[in-house]
Structure 1
Amino acid sequence: MLINGAGIAGLALAWWLERDGHDVVLLERAEPGRAAGYMVDCQGDGYDAVDRMGLLPRLRRHAFTLSALVYHDPGGAVREVLPSDEVAAERLISLMRGDLEGALRDDLRGGDLRFGVGVDRLDDEGDRLAAVLTDGSVERADLLVGADGFRSHVRGLLFGSARHCVRELGFHAAAYSFTDAGLARSLDGAMHLVDAPGLQAGGYPVTGDDVSTLFIHRAPPATPRPEDPRRELRARYGHLGWLVPELLDRCPPPAAVHYDAVAQIELPAWHRGRAVLVGDACQAMSLLSGQGAGMALAGAAALADELRRDVPVGTALARYERRLRPRVRELQAEARATAEEFVP
């Protein structure tokens, strides 16, 4: 089995496939040591998936609970406070993306995990696929899984241009983390957001002395992503007061900033031949749903379940898609319904 992408979906699928006795090669184009990124929620179907994996005790060591969601006006005055019991959900655990990926990676049973390399192109050899990698080597596998995220290269190889499958929701978002003990304490365990017309910016304390940020602004569909996220964030949010200038001053180099359009992926099919997509590569729901990480975990578990059956590969892939697609469509529709109210 060849998995392209060692994010949440790819790592979770490798975890299941290893335990089912498959030889797994897991590829990740990025180099190791990426930043922790941003907060993700494992809730609902995703919570059930990590519970099945026996990982809840480990994840709880990295989890945190925000005490409240506090909205401020552009000058910093408190506008509204939502205590945690008003925003909490059942079967929910919140942690940093990097901690979730680290827990999944550390619980693999060895396998072949390669950083700095990914699938470049594919050749169909009938009973297997030949994948030419970015380092020029060739891997042959019974199944190729594209777990390479919202901008999936494998999806492009299977189905062509992304333009037909990306539905932008009219926002750009950015997130990054940094260490500042004083600022972390001043946030008093809550997420603080500053609102202005078309903008929302803020920060929240995470484990230790770390602070994570969230910036969201309206951007018409097809607005290009900036070459320099730091410059864009300072231009967009620099007029806001309170803690926002301090957050902007701590913005790391562009490579450490997660910046992208808030968008969904909608495909008529998730598999072709001996290749299949999982996670954001086929089911991205956008951060508005709060379900992306959880459904990546649920999708990996569902795919592993179907591959475990004594049926042809094509049948297993079709069953996986039929099983998961209704839930993905439901969550995508819910996210779209909240888009207009998401940022004032």
Structure 2
Amino acid sequence: MRALIVGAGIAGLVAARQLGVAGWSVDVLERAPGPRPEGYMMDFFGPGVRAAERIGLYPYLAQAAHRVRAAAYVDVDGRETARLDYEQFSALAGGNVLSLLRPDLETAALRALGDAPAGGIHLHYGCRAARVVQRPGAVALVAEDQHGQSRWFEADLLIGADGLHSRVREGVFGPESGWLRDLGMRAAAYIVAEPEINAGARHRFVLTDSIGRTAAYYGLRDGRVATLLVYRALPGDPHNARDRLRRHFTGLGATVDRLLQLCPQEPYDDVVAQVVMPRLSHGNTVLLGDAGGAVSLLAGQGGSLAVAGAAQLAASLENLEDPGWIPAALAGFSARWQLTVRSAQASGRRAAASFLPATRAGLLLRRWVIRSSSVPPLDRLIARRIVASLAK
């Protein structure tokens, strides 16, 4: 059977691998000209770890993981105000917490495609989905390459794994305004070369202990610095992303000011939002990852759910003997997976509120919770609550 996947991110690549291993012929379309080099650090645990271990993906992820010792909050002078010990948290979470840069996770998923039979998976970079055509018992898609030339793809199954602003979702389920739940924030991410900041931030996340905005950075193995900036947009904000970030974050300390100087002209900058849908499938089309169930990057679960969802979708399809059974299999997957997505989205909304405190009282409460995480027996209580909310 034939599958067409739109989006060569985490969910799309893992789904392609699993379907390829099961003997499907898979075409993966990605609008970017190649694997995306930019991204932010994420914690990977819970359902994604269990799924990765089950399907043999975990060794690829573990090899790409960064060693993080702590998450440290600092004031404008760089003094620590609170610290979360990662090794302690990992042990309390079961010992399987990986810290992964998003592009490294995608690279690991790309490497794992080699586990599928040769010739079964075809990647098409620089190829944008333009129009979905629903047919009885099949799907077709009109795509455009980077030169504006149209291409026609047909398949038994269409998987929309093309992210928060999914073209597949729009073509099959309607405009994103009906499904996107804005959490009232924006997030920007970019990676820059800054050896001095890297040396001071190796093996730890550094976050500003600030109200209404948070700048976070991490020193990568190659001497660069991964930067994440989260804020609430204001009336009159500059249209240019770099100018907007400088308006919001200037004054949070010398390190943040230096990272703002190095900010590229147009970094990744998008709304922090969830995608809330009543169902994930329609006929022979299904949504996967952020396209159908974004939990928001602040929830710390996007990568984990992308892997777990892709593995579960492939398992729902692996024993089909006839393409006519695909719609029922997709409907069953949708009903089961939505339970996990809704639970994760609820915890994601709670995480977003605590990540960006709006008042000094909220900031002090967060500081107290983080400090308490190292005090027995509060450490186990807090860790259990965090893991229970994120790992369902």
TM range (shorter): over 0.9
Query: Out of 86, 96, 106, which is 2:101 matched to?
Result: 96
Does residue 359 of structure 2 align to residue 339 of structure 1? Answer: no
Q: Distance in 2 between matches of 1:33 and 1:281?
A: 18
Q: Distance in 2 between matches of 1:219 and 1:7?
A: 27
Does residue 61 of structure 2 align to residue 59 of structure 1? Answer: yes
Query: How has the CA–CA distance of structure 1 residues 86 and 260 changed in structure 2, closer, same or farther, with 3 Å as cutoff?
Result: farther
Q: Percent identity?
A: 38
CA contact (8 A) 2:132 2:139 kept: yes
Q: Distance in 2 between matches of 1:125 and 1:94?
A: 42
Aligned to 1:334, what secondary structure does the other structure show?
A: helix
Q: Distance in 2 between matches of 1:225 and 1:155?
A: 30
Q: Distance in 2 between matches of 1:146 and 1:270?
A: 10
How many Å apart are 1:225 and its aligned residue?
A: 9.2
Aligned to 2:298, what secondary structure does the other structure show?
A: coil
| 1:283 aligned partner | 293
Q: Distance in 1 between matches of 2:326 and 2:202?
A: 51
Aligned to 2:343, what secondary structure does the other structure show?
A: helix
| 1:81 aligned partner | 83
Give deviations 1:143-182, integer Å, cap 9, x for gaps: 1110000110000001111111111112111111123332
Give unmatched runs, 5+ long, in structure 1.
none
Aligned to 2:252, what secondary structure does the other structure show?
A: coil
How many Å apart are 1:118 and its aligned residue?
A: 2.4
Aligned to 1:303, what secondary structure does the other structure show?
A: helix
Q: Distance in 2 between matches of 1:107 and 1:211?
A: 26
Q: Distance in 2 between matches of 1:249 and 1:184?
A: 15
Q: Distance in 1 between matches of 2:80 and 2:233?
A: 26
Aligned to 2:25, what secondary structure does the other structure show?
A: coil
Deviates more, 1:63-72 or 1:81-90: 81-90
Q: Distance in 1 between matches of 2:155 and 2:236?
A: 36
Q: Distance in 2 between matches of 1:322 and 1:24?
A: 24
Give deviations 1:108-142, integer Å, cap 9, x for gaps: 24421001112211222312212111231111111
| 1:271 aligned partner | 281
Does residue 162 of structure 2 align to residue 148 of structure 1? Answer: yes
Aligned to 1:137, what secondary structure does the other structure show?
A: strand
Does residue 193 of structure 2 align to residue 179 of structure 1? Answer: yes
Q: Distance in 1 between matches of 2:319 and 2:193?
A: 47
| 1:252 aligned partner | 264
Amino acid at match of 1:121: R
| 2:37 aligned partner | 35
Q: Distance in 1 between matches of 2:354 and 2:80?
A: 19
Give deviations 1:71-129, integer Å, cap 9, x for gaps: 12234332222222454333221111111111211222442100111221122231221
Q: Distance in 1 between matches of 2:290 and 2:202?
A: 33
Query: How has the CA–CA distance of structure 1 residues 319 and 122 changed in structure 2, closer, same or farther, with 3 Å as cutoff?
Result: same
How many Å apart are 1:205 and its aligned residue?
A: 1.3
CA contact (8 A) 1:309 1:316 kept: no
Superposed, 1:223-262 pairs within 5 Å as 227-254=239-266, 257-262=267-272
Deviates more, 1:85-94 or 1:244-253: 85-94
Deviates more, 1:223-232 or 1:290-299: 223-232
Aligned to 2:299, what secondary structure does the other structure show?
A: coil
Query: How has the CA–CA distance of structure 1 residues 303 and 203 changed in structure 2, closer, same or farther, with 3 Å as cutoff?
Result: same
Aligned to 1:46, what secondary structure does the other structure show?
A: helix
Q: Distance in 2 between matches of 1:131 and 1:243?
A: 47
How many Å apart are 1:330 and its aligned residue?
A: 0.6
CA contact (8 A) 2:30 2:126 kept: yes
| 1:68 aligned partner | 70
CA contact (8 A) 1:62 1:207 kept: no
- TM-score, with length taken from structure 1: 0.93
Amino acid at match of 1:239: G
Number of residue pairs matched by the alignment: 340
How many Å apart are 1:253 and its aligned residue?
A: 3.1
CA contact (8 A) 1:146 1:275 kept: yes
Superposed, 1:127-206 pairs within 5 Å as 127-134=137-144, 135-206=149-220
Q: Distance in 2 between matches of 1:41 and 1:192?
A: 14
| 1:294 aligned partner | 304
| 2:334 aligned partner | 321
Does residue 23 of structure 2 align to residue 11 of structure 1? Answer: no
CA contact (8 A) 1:40 1:96 kept: yes
CA contact (8 A) 2:181 2:273 kept: yes
How many Å apart are 1:22 and its aligned residue?
A: 0.6
Give deviations 1:259-307, integer Å, cap 9, x for gaps: 1111100011111111111000001001222110110111101110111
CA RMSD of aligned residues (A): 1.9
How many Å apart are 1:252 and its aligned residue?
A: 2.1
- TM-score, with length taken from structure 2: 0.82
